[in-house]
Each structure stands twice: as structure tokens, then as C-alpha cells.
Structure 1
Amino acid sequence: MRTPLIAGNWKMNGSTELVEAFGQAFSSAALPNSLEAAIFPPYPYLGAARAAFAESPLALGAQTLNPHPAGAHTGEVSGPMLREFGVQYALVGHSERRQLYRESDEQVHERLLAALEVDIVPVLCVGESLAERDAGHTLQVVLHQVGYVMSRLEPAQRERVIIAYEPVWAIGTGRTATPEQAQEVMAGIRAYLAEFDRGLADGLRLLYGGSMNAGNAAELLAQPDIDGGLVGGASLKVDDFLAICQSAG
């Protein structure tokens, strides 16, 4: 049985006040027992979040990391640094990193390895643009992104990865893939993983990311191959994020 994960990606948003609000709300919240929840705040808030979330079920995630453990990389943050702050998850290959900062498949792979090296669970983000979907290339694009990384990992490493499918055209646009569209891609990813190992395919968690909110979460999470969500805008609202978490029970 795969444990659902609801991950909130704040992107370049948030405040100390918001961190404290989440800590207070989730310290007394009743969440499903079979659920993991994590917040991915900007780097400056990791310390405050670690303290604020100490009495809550919320885990900490990072939005990316540098492939190197240390060195002359001004403005960057390494895996060992994140571990010092209690970070348990890290996004790698988010569409904004791929598009705005030109991260290649190779760089995504390097970041994923850096996370595994320090026992941080990497959340590999994959997804297609609207043009690619309209051209009928969704699975081709998504499976290429999955395959580039997974084919370069050892079997034991693959088992430690989480994959988040985020259709680029549904991120921050208010548009959401229908549950059927999302399920079709998730099923395609799981079938592809079965080519490596049936046990891997059955056990690896797949998250949906693309304007998941309190109104559509339950229907999306009811799909057989969707094991949680990578939530953007709705993760900046305490009540909405809490409602999404409760939908996963």
C-alpha cells in the first residue's frame, strides 16, 4: 500500500508569518494516519519552518539543490546544508527550473543523485507543455524525462524516488488536467516503470501537480495511480492545504 504524500511548493512566496500559521494549524490538525505532508518553502524560511513544524506532522522539503556538496558556487545551496535543517524531500527538475533556468536532463539527474547521497528523498518532476500535449506527444515527453533519470540509477536508488507529473500547461493557470487525463499519464508512467521492475512500479509513489486545489483534490486523489499531490498556489493557504490533506485520507 503506497502512503499518500501531499507536498506544498511555495515557490518564491511565503513569510515568517505564514510559516508560523502553518505550524500552529497543523500542530492541532487531525490528519489521516496513512498520510505524509510536507512543505517546500524558500530557503530563508527553512530554519523557522523547522522550529514551527516541530510539533506538527509537516515534513520539510527543498525546492532544489546544487549537485555539489560544497565549493565555489555563489548563491547555491547543497544537500549537506539542507540535511542540517532537517530537510527530508527535495524537488528536482521542476518545470520552472527546466524552463526559466535551463536545467537539462543531465543536470536534473545530477541533482537527484546529490539528494540521494545525503538521504533526502528526491521528487522528480516531469511534464509536457500545451504544444506537446496538443501534438499528441504527452507520453513521449514524460517518459523521456522519467527514463533519462531512472535508466541511470541503480535498482536500490530507483526505489527511493518519487515522481511528480505536472502538466506545464496546468501550473499556475487555473487549468487542471481532468482526473482521467492525469490517470492516463500516471498509468503510462507506472507501466514504463514495470519495464525495470514490477515491484518498483507497484511501490513507487506518483504525485499529480497542476493546479490541485481543495475543490478538485478528492477526485484526483481517487484515481488508482495518483498517490498524492504537488500543490502550488493552494499550499499558500492554510485552510486549503489542510483540506487537500484531509482529502487524501
Structure 2
Amino acid sequence: MPQTLLALNWKMNKTPSEATAWANDLKASLQLGEAEVAIMAPAIDLQALSWFLKDTGVQIGGQDVSQHESGAYTGEISAGMLKDVGAKYAVVGHSERREYHAESSQIVAAKARAALNAGLIPIICVGEGLEVRERGEHVSYTLDQLRDSLAGITIASAEQLVIAYEPVWAIGTGKTATAADAEELAAAIRSALSGLLGEVGAGVQVLYGGSVKGGNIREICGQPNVNGALVGGASLEVQGVLDMVNALK
């Protein structure tokens, strides 16, 4: 299985000057250990982070990416733009994008393809809301979302994919799916990936996202099919990141 990935999603937090200060504090204390650390920062922060984190092994990524390569799309950030400032990853289909911006899985798939075409690794997010889970339909719902979000992605390009399972009811609520809950969906996702993509699918990283922090990350990432975490609130403070990195050693 691939190296554990700790993807830090800052959401709409940190100005460039705040991001720079955070990066300098991280550099002073971070010893990477077993995990790859990647910061999914607001696009306006990426240039500064790329400069201040060079030669540290810490990666950067976009929180979203346009499905279009270029053109008259005011406010959009293309995959090529992200790549040019040193990004390795791009998050696509985060639950907040799906909910607040009405992004369908078809749009998510188009964004994932755009990322792949530019040489970025898309982190494709899938997961269910509380109502779906309470009906006991969380597995089938998430797998349907996964299949639709992978539309048009070839086996050849699938080696450069990451899937993040994020139960929507556990994001920013303080509620956390148990390690067993995370493993249930991660195993189902891996099985579906193997069916869709063959042997390549078995090697795709599957992350868990939803109120992850230093106190629970080791148990969650210790599950057989969980290869890392997509972390929100706990990523905003350097000490929180250090706690998670140390817990994974």
C-alpha cells in the first residue's frame, strides 16, 4: 500500500501572510516520519507556501480546480495554474462544493479529468449525509457517487488518483465516524475501485475525512483500507499537525 497521506484542508482560512507564518512555524518543528503532508490551501496562498516550503518535502494542492483548461471563466482557477505554482494535488467534489455550489458528480468527474490532464493528482471526495446513513443506504449511495465521479477516467490515468471518504455528518460537527465505520466504507470503495479499474484500483489511496485530529488519527489510519486522512479544523494550528504526524510515526 502507498505511503500514508495527511491532506490538510484549510478551507477559507489564512491570508498569505498568515500562511507564511504558519509555514515557517511548521518548518521549525516538523519531522515528516512515515506520512506525506500536503496542504490544500486557498489559491491565493499557494505561491507563498510553495516558496517557503521548498525542500521540506511538504506538498501543496488546490481546494478546487476548474473543469476548463482556459478561457472566459471569471473567477476560475485552472489545473495548469495550480501546477505552475508547484501544486501536486487538487481536491475535487468536496461536500461543501457539492452542497453550496451545486456541483454534480458529472462536474466532479470533469474536474478530476482536467486535473489529471495537467499532471495533478485529484483527491476525489465522496460521502453521505446523515439522512442517508440513518436509512442504512450509506454504502450504496457513496459507491454510486464514486462511480459517477470517476466517469471518463481511464485505467492508465487512475494510478494518479486519491479517493477521500467524508461522511458529511462528521465534518466540522465534532462527530466522528468510528474507525470501524471508516474501514467499512474504505473497504467498499477499494472493492469498487478494483472492479472498475482492475489491479490499479487496488493500489489507489483511500483517505478518511471528518473531525480527524491527533487523538484519533492513529486508530483510523491503522485500518487495513485507510491510507490517510483529509483533515479540516485540526490542520489550522501547527501543533495540531505535529500531533497528527507524531501519532502516525
TM-score band w.r.t. shorter chain:
over 0.9
Deviations 1:181-215 (A, max 9, x none): 11111111111122134522431100000010111
Q: Which residue of 1 aligns with 2:12?
A: 12
Deviations 1:150-173 (A, max 9, x none): 353211122211000000000010
For the residues of structure 2 that align with 1:83 and 1:23, how far apart are their CA atoms? 20
- TM-score normalized by the length of structure 1: 0.95
SS of 1:208's equivalent in the other structure is: strand
Q: Is the 8 A contact 1:93 1:124 kept in 2?
A: yes
Q: TM-score, structure 2 length as denominator?
A: 0.95
- CA RMSD in angstroms, aligned pairs only: 1.4
Which deviations, in whole Å up to 9, do the C-alpha atoms of 1:77-135 show, x marking residues without a partner?
11111111111100000000000000011100110010001100000000000000001
- The separation in 2 between residues aligned to 1:11 and 1:55, in whole angstroms, is 25
Deviation at 1:219, TM superposition (A): 1.0
Number of residue pairs the alignment of both structures matches: 248
CA contact (8 A) 1:26 1:56 kept: no
SS of corresponding position for 2:8: strand
Does the alignment pair 1:105 with 2:108? no
Inter-partner Cα distance in structure 2 for 1:82 and 1:179: 33
Q: Which residue of 1 aligns with 2:32?
A: 31
Residue 50 of structure 1: aligned partner: 50
Poorly superposed stretches of 4+, deviation over 4 Å = none
**1:169 equivalent in structure 2:** 169
Name the counterpart of 1:144: 144
Q: Conserved in 2, the CA contact under 8 Å of 1:122 and 1:161?
A: yes
Aligned twin of 2:240: 240
**Letter in structure 1 aligned against 2:31:** A
The code of the aligned residue for 2:64 comes to T
> What 5-or-longer segments of structure 1 have no aligned partner?
none
| Residue ranges of structure 2 left out of the alignment (5+ in a row) | none
Paired amino acid for 1:96: E
Matches within 5 A, 1:16-95: 16-28=16-28, 29-32=30-33, 34-95=34-95
Of 131-140 and 193-202, more deviation after overlay is shown by 193-202
**Once the two structures are aligned, what percentage of the paired residues are identical?**
39
Residues 57, 21 of structure 1: alpha-carbon distance in 2 compared, 3 angstrom cutoff: farther
* Maintained 8 Å contact 1:112/1:124: yes
- Structure-1 residue corresponding to 2:215: 215
In structure 1, what is the Cα distance between the partners aligned to 2:193 and 2:55? 36
Aligned partner of residue 102 in structure 1, secondary structure: coil
Does the 8 Å contact 1:23/1:56 carry over to 2?
A: no
1:195 aligns with 2:223: no
Separation (CA, whole Å) in 1 of partners of 2:50 and 2:97: 25
| Deviation readout 1:26-74 (Å, 9 max, x if unpaired) | 3342121x42110011111111111111132210100011111111111
